């Protein structure tokens, strides 16, 4: 008996919320991948928004999974291992029934995709807190932990790519097996009813309850994130420069945040002020001591920012030159010599020409730009 020889009227399987969720998630994940891999770190803000949107969509989908219409419900497609194995065996022997909604394997795929997106969001927020000292976990996570979590974030990202690949293969395979365009059904929402379809119990959508729950979850998340973000960041650099330091050491260039160099190297620099990069920048003894003490107290050794960790490893031949460190040269490799010489930059050491947060010692990548030539 051929199950699909008689044309059956189409029925709505994927309600509008499921379809909007599905394609919005595709968009958010695509944007997150593009802004992470194809563009530089200066696109981090867009990456963060894309990731936050994906996480928000997934949470909304879980809520719709208990309040939505029949095939949106988790209960309609989440099955135990035994039933999943049976479906697998029936697939092999060609006896698997057609499911109007997700089949057991598809159901597990949905849960897997949701879990990995949530894992990406959580490791992303923790990494942002540890490495860049910003966001809800800036107060709690160290740089070292942030670096480790960035590896976990990448593992999740690769896992997501694999799951997406399997999900597409699964959808194409099932389209072929049941002679039905499943990607199109995720656009129109409609599928043919056929004899022998696997039956699920009907459920009525509760859109108002869903809207209330989503609004509460979203509002709560935003409120909580703001409360946490307002806490002082763990190991942030000194935010306000000492007025004497800011005045004396900004005569020829901007005053560098003390967190960018170790106490030992600041002492070396201060001792060598009479011959400071070819200039005499020396002070009387009292001011010399005052400035040195302040630099030492707020040096890289006391901070936990990415810039402090990466720039403190200076070249022994030039112990107090940030622009000669491996990290600095690798990060600015793509910027042409000419760019550094032109107005209003003039020098590699003029960090604040390109980094709007240079004074704070933060150097958050989205705050870096190449300024246009002064008119």
- Residues at the site binding ligand HEC, with contacts judged by CB under 6 A: 40-42, 248-249, 251-253, 256, 260, 269, 276-277, 279, 281, 291, 306-307, 320-323, 331-332, 335, 339-340, 345, 347-351, 353-355, 363, 365, 368, 370
Both tokens of 285, joined, read 């003894």
Could you tell me the smallest distance in angstroms from the CB atom of residue 346 to ligand HEC? 8
Specify the residue, 79 or 298, whose C-beta has the smaller distance to ligand HEC.
Answer: 298
Q: Tell which residue, 108, 72, 71, has the closest CA to residue 87.
A: 108
Specify the residue, 14 or 266, whose C-beta has the smaller distance to ligand HEC.
Answer: 266
The span from the CA of 19 to the CA of 288, in Å, is: 67
User: Could you give the angle at the alpha carbon of 43 between the alpha carbons of 41 and 44, nearest 5°?
Assistant: 70
Specify the residue, 8 or 329, whose C-beta has the smaller distance to ligand HEC.
Answer: 329
User: Could you give the angle at the alpha carbon of 28 between the alpha carbons of 24 and 31, nearest 5°?
Assistant: 135
Both tokens of 318, joined, read 């030039």
Could you tell me the smallest distance in angstroms from the CB atom of residue 236 to ligand HEC? 15
Both tokens of 269, joined, read 């620099």
Specify the residue, 1 or 336, whose C-beta has the smaller distance to ligand HEC.
Answer: 336
The span from the CA of 350 to the CA of 366, in Å, is: 18
277: left (phi over 0), alpha (psi -120 to 50) or beta: left
The span from the CA of 300 to the CA of 146, in Å, is: 18
Could you tell me the smallest distance in angstroms from the CB atom of residue 161 to ligand HEC? 23
Could you tell me the smallest distance in angstroms from the CB atom of residue 352 to ligand HEC? 8
Specify the residue, 190 or 341, whose C-beta has the smaller distance to ligand HEC.
Answer: 341
**Is cis: bond before 344, omega within 30 of 0?**
yes
Specify the residue, 71 or 234, whose C-beta has the smaller distance to ligand HEC.
Answer: 234
Could you tell me the smallest distance in angstroms from the CB atom of residue 374 to ligand HEC? 13
Whole-angstrom CA distances from 293 to 230, 286, 298, 358 are: 30, 11, 9, 22
Could you tell me the smallest distance in angstroms from the CB atom of residue 328 to ligand HEC? 6
Specify the residue, 229 or 350, whose C-beta has the smaller distance to ligand HEC.
Answer: 350
CB-side neighbour CA atoms (13 Å) of 74? 16
The span from the CA of 45 to the CA of 161, in Å, is: 22
Specify the residue, 21 or 132, whose C-beta has the smaller distance to ligand HEC.
Answer: 132
> Residue written as tokens 């509460």?
216
Could you tell me the smallest distance in angstroms from the CB atom of residue 317 to ligand HEC? 13
Could you tell me the smallest distance in angstroms from the CB atom of residue 288 to ligand HEC? 8
Contact 127, 146 (CB under 8 A): yes
Contact 176, 133 (CB under 8 A): no
Specify the residue, 147 or 197, whose C-beta has the smaller distance to ligand HEC.
Answer: 147
Contact 197, 178 (CB under 8 A): no
Could you tell me the smallest distance in angstroms from the CB atom of residue 152 to ligand HEC? 18
Q: Which residues contact 207 (CB under 8 A, 6 or more apart)?
A: 17, 67
Could you tell me the smallest distance in angstroms from the CB atom of residue 319 to ligand HEC? 10
Exposed/middle/buried for 102, CB within 10 Å: 0-12, 13-18, 19+? buried
Specify the residue, 22 or 331, whose C-beta has the smaller distance to ligand HEC.
Answer: 331
């Amino acid at each position: 008996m051929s199950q699909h020889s008689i044309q059956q009227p189409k029925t709505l399987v994927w309600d509008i919320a499921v379809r909007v969720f599905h394609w919005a998630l595709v968009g958010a994940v695509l944007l997150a991948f593009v802004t992470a891999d194809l563009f530089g770190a200066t696109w981090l803000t867009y990456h963060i928004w894309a990731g936050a949107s994906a996480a928000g969509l997934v949470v909304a989908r879980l809520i719709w999974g208990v309040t939505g219409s029949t095939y949106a419900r988790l209960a309609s497609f989440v099955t135990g291992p035994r039933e999943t194995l049976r479906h697998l065996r029936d697939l092999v022997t060609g006896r698997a029934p057609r499911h109007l909604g997700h089949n057991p394997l598809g159901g597990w795929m949905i849960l897997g995709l949701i879990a990995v997106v949530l894992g990406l969001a959580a490791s992303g927020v923790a990494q942002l807190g540890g490495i860049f000292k910003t966001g809800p976990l800036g107060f709690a996570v160290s740089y070292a932990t942030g670096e480790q979590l960035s590896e976990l974030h990448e593992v999740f990202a690769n896992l997501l790519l694999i799951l997406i690949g399997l999900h597409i293969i699964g959808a194409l395979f099932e389209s072929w097996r049941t002679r039905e365009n499943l990607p199109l059904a995720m656009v129109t929402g409609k599928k043919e009813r056929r004899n022998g379809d696997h039956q699920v119990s009907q459920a009525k959508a509760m859109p108002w309850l869903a809207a209330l729950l989503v609004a509460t979850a979203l509002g709560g998340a935003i409120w909580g994130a703001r409360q946490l973000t307002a806490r002082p960041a763990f190991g942030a650099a000194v935010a306000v420069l000492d007025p004497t330091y800011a005045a004396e050491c900004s005569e020829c260039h901007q005053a560098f945040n003390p967190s960018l160099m170790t106490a030992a190297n600041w002492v070396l620099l201060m001792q060598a002020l009479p011959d400071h990069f070819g200039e005499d920048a020396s002070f009387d003894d009292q001011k010399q001591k005052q400035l040195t003490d302040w630099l030492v107290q707020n040096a890289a050794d006391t901070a936990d920012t990415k810039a402090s960790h990466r720039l403190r490893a200076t070249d022994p031949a030039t112990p107090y030159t940030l622009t000669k460190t491996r990290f600095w040269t690798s990060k600015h490799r793509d910027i042409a010599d000419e760019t550094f010489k032109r107005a209003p930059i003039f020098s590699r050491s003029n960090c604040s020409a390109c980094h709007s947060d240079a004074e704070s010692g933060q150097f958050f990548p989205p705050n870096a730009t190449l300024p246009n030539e002064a008119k």
